[in-house]
């Protein structure tokens, strides 16, 4: 019977990082993966999504370039070429992950691992013991509980479609939904986005939500708010989607982007004292310890902040706590920047205006909405939004939000400044880079009235 100091279930971003960093401390480590190295992000998440976003943005360039003096022939798009080139890139990344594990002398098991009890795992008919077990299985896309939901696909299947459909319904209003809708619309697909709420990307700042909802609709996507599908039926003409309002729509494809659930099925948790939250997430304390001694969990499966960089940091903190002999510390979840690769992009760091009003008694809001320089000649009508939230008593910047081109690239730098406790006075004293959109963040001087 094989024995390891650490057995990691799940070779996504968090699991691979934990395995490698633990092995670097001289720990005997094994990792098991039943699907693909790199997890959701590399294979059916952020990496292929961003590649598809790039592809969808090229189509606007010929038209936008005309007033800059360029003339191009009508562009032709080849879906199969994009899909296969994406597959080649993902295979390359899979190979890198395998080499990283091999070079770290981590034993890799290809298969589904099941916990048989504390310190005991079975995989491919073999029983393995371990001092510590780390669960890093991530999440899985979910579908709504409606009749015919099995007729629709999720993000798992989206990246492998044989043909690009002509008419698609994307169901959902979160970041995955608006990203997929933007991709499809950019690639020339007749795209409808259906969401039961009144604005897109719930949980973001309300000004950001309102602005993005308007801009997405301007881009050509049919944004359908305030209702949701109730039934899907397959017919000779495609899929008939019946809505809560009583009307129906026929499309070639239905894409569900209605959330993700922690992936804990068939892990054997019933053989342990590990406790789950109502949504299926594994309950852990600040040190990623479950209610069963020797079993830990991190990443999307614990449903704290579902972002790849967060899982990486959690893995580093787990290794520091368990294998470096240092005093245990919890993960710092404060001021985590994030981006939505919608069209236009959204990026944010810090708290929303609504959260600021709940926590602080005296805040200032700086808000700017403008047409970027590029749009003035290209003839586009896209507008950029930038917002700063400040604690008036301390002058400390509490939140920075942006909707517009390159929002993620711009906010990343300001995230570091906010982590250092930047104040509005410091922003005001910073000389901007002209002409850029980013300089607007250091030139807003007058707060808005609320």
The DSSP letter of residue 307 is -
Cα→Cα distances 26→157, 191, 322, 324, Å: 39, 52, 12, 10
Which structure tokens are listed for 298? 């991190």
Which residues are CB-contacts of 42 (< 8 A; sequence separation ≥ 6)?
12, 13, 36, 90, 93, 94, 97
Residues 6+ apart with CB under 8 A from 19: 6, 8, 11, 29, 30, 31, 101, 104, 106
Q: How far is CA 212 from CA 31, 182, 184, in A?
A: 41, 12, 17
Q: What is the DSSP letter of 334?
A: T
User: What CA–CA distance (Å, rounded) separates 138 from 156?
Assistant: 13
Instruction: Specify whether the CB–CB gap between 48 and 183 falls below 8 A.
Output: no
Structure tokens of 88? 């080649």
Q: Which of 368, 339, 380 is nearest to 175 (CA)?
A: 339
Active-site residue, 434 included:
yes
211, 401, 406, 434: the active-site residue: 434
Show Cβ contacts of residue 44 under 8 Å, excluding neighbours closer than 6 positions.
Answer: 155, 156, 158, 159
Q: Are strands 139-141 and 167-171 parallel, antiparallel or unpaired?
A: unpaired
Catalytic residues: 434
């Amino acid at each position: 019977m094989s024995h390891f100091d650490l057995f990691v279930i799940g070779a996504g971003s968090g699991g691979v990082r934990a395995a490698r960093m633990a092995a670097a401390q001289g720990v005997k480590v094994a990792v098991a993966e039943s699907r693909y190295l790199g997890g959701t992000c590399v294979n059916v998440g952020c990496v292929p999504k961003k590649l598809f976003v790039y592809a969808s943005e090229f189509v606007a360039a010929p038209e936008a370039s005309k007033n800059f003096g360029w003339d191009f022939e009508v562009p032709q798009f080849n879906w199969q070429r994009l899909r296969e080139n994406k597959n080649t890139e993902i295979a390359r990344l899979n190979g890198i992950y395998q080499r990283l594990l091999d070079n770290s002398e981590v034993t890799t098991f290809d298969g589904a691992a099941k916990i048989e009890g504390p310190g005991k795992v079975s995989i491919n008919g073999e029983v393995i013991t371990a001092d510590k077990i780390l669960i890093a299985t991530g999440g899985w896309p979910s579908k709504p509980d409606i009749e015919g939901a099995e007729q629709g696909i999720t993000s798992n299947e989206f990246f492998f479609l044989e043909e690009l459909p002509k008419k698609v319904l994307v169901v959902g209003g979160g970041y995955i939904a608006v990203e997929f809708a933007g991709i499809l619309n950019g690639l020339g697909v007749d795209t409808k986005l259906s969401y039961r709420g009144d604005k897109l990307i719930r949980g973001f700042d309300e000004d950001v939500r309102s602005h993005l909802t308007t801009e997405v609709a301007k881009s050509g996507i049919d944004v359908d708010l305030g209702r949701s599908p109730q039934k899907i039926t397959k017919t000779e003409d495609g899929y008939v989607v019946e809505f809560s309002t009583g009307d129906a729509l026929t499309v070639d494809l239905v894409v569900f982007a209605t959330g993700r659930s922690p992936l804990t099925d068939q892990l054997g948790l019933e053989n342990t004292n590990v406790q789950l939250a109502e949504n299926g997430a594994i309950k852990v304390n600040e040190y990623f310890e479950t209610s069963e001694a020797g079993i830990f969990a991190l990443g999307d499966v614990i449903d704290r902040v579902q972002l790849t960089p967060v899982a990486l940091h959690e893995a580093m903190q787990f290794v520091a706590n368990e294998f470096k002999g240092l005093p245990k510390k919890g993960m710092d979840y404060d001021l985590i920047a994030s981006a939505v690769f919608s069209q236009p992009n959204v990026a944010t760091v810090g708290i929303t205006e609504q959260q600021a009003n709940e926590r602080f008694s005296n805040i200032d809001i700086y808000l700017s909405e403008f047409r970027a320089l590029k749009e003035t000649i290209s003839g586009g009508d896209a507008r950029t939004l930038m917002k700063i939230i400040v604690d008036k008593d301390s002058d400390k910047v509490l939140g920075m939000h942006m909707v517009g081109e390159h929002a993620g690239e711009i906010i990343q730098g300001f995230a570091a400044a906010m982590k250092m406790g930047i104040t509005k006075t410091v922003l005001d004293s910073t000389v901007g880079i002209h002409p850029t959109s980013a300089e607007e963040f250091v030139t807003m001087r007058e707060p808005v009235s609320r």
